């Protein structure tokens, strides 16, 4: 009798799980047909269609959505206050290395495009990046530095 009760309880549990999955599928397909599209996974997109929650941002140089922490060169701040988070800047070079794009933590909406002005030197206004030393100067002062020895 105990065996039979365990078997019945197990079958009821499996049937309940199967119905919950079927109800979920019905809800999604009804929602999808109303909207005419599949649901977005991962959150909202910015004005360029980059998936913000996946760490994507628009790159003018690459003309597409990128993850700067994957393809860019990391530059860490030189002056770090004790107990504060270290927020890096990133540099992405164009394929022909004629331009560099800066992704600064305090200016996330506007990337800064630098032009190559000399061997491994990129500059625009108060920003100058020395690719050989992996150093970013702002107003002629070193603000960020990469881990190149």
Total-model pTM? 0.67
CA separation for the pair 56, 41 (Å, rounded): 14
The secondary structure of 4-32 as a DSSP string is HHHHHHHHHHHHHHHHHHHHHHHHHHHHH
Burial of 56 (C-beta count, 10 Å sphere; 0-12/13-18/19+): buried
- Residues found in the chain: 149
**Within 13 Å, how many C-alpha atoms sit on residue 96's CB side?**
4
For the stretch 21-50, pLDDT in tens is 444 444 444 434 344 444 455 578 877 788
For the stretch 58-103, pLDDT in tens is 999 999 999 999 999 999 999 988 888 889 999 999 999 999 999 9
pLDDT at residue 82, as a whole number? 87
SS3 113: strand
Q: Which residues have CB under 8 Å from 39's CB, separation 6+?
A: 28, 31, 32
Task: Tell me the sheet residues that pair with 45.
Answer: 51
């Amino acid at each position: 009798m105990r065996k039979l009760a365990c078997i019945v309880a197990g079958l009821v549990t499996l049937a309940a799980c199967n119905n919950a999955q079927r109800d979920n599928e019905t809800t999604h397909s009804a929602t999808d047909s109303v909207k005419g599209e599949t649901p977005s996974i991962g959150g909202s997109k910015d004005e360029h269609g980059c998936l913000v929650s996946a760490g994507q941002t628009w790159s003018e140089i690459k003309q597409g959505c990128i993850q700067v922490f994957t393809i860019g060169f990391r530059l860490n701040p030189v002056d770090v206050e004790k107990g504060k988070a270290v927020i890096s800047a990133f540099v992405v070079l164009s394929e022909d290395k004629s331009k560099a794009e800066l992704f600064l933590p305090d200016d996330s909406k506007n990337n800064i495009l630098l032009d190559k002005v000399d061997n491994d030197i990129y500059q625009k206004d108060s920003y100058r990046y020395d690719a050989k030393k992996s150093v970013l100067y702002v107003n002629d002062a070193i603000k960020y530095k990469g881990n190149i020895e």
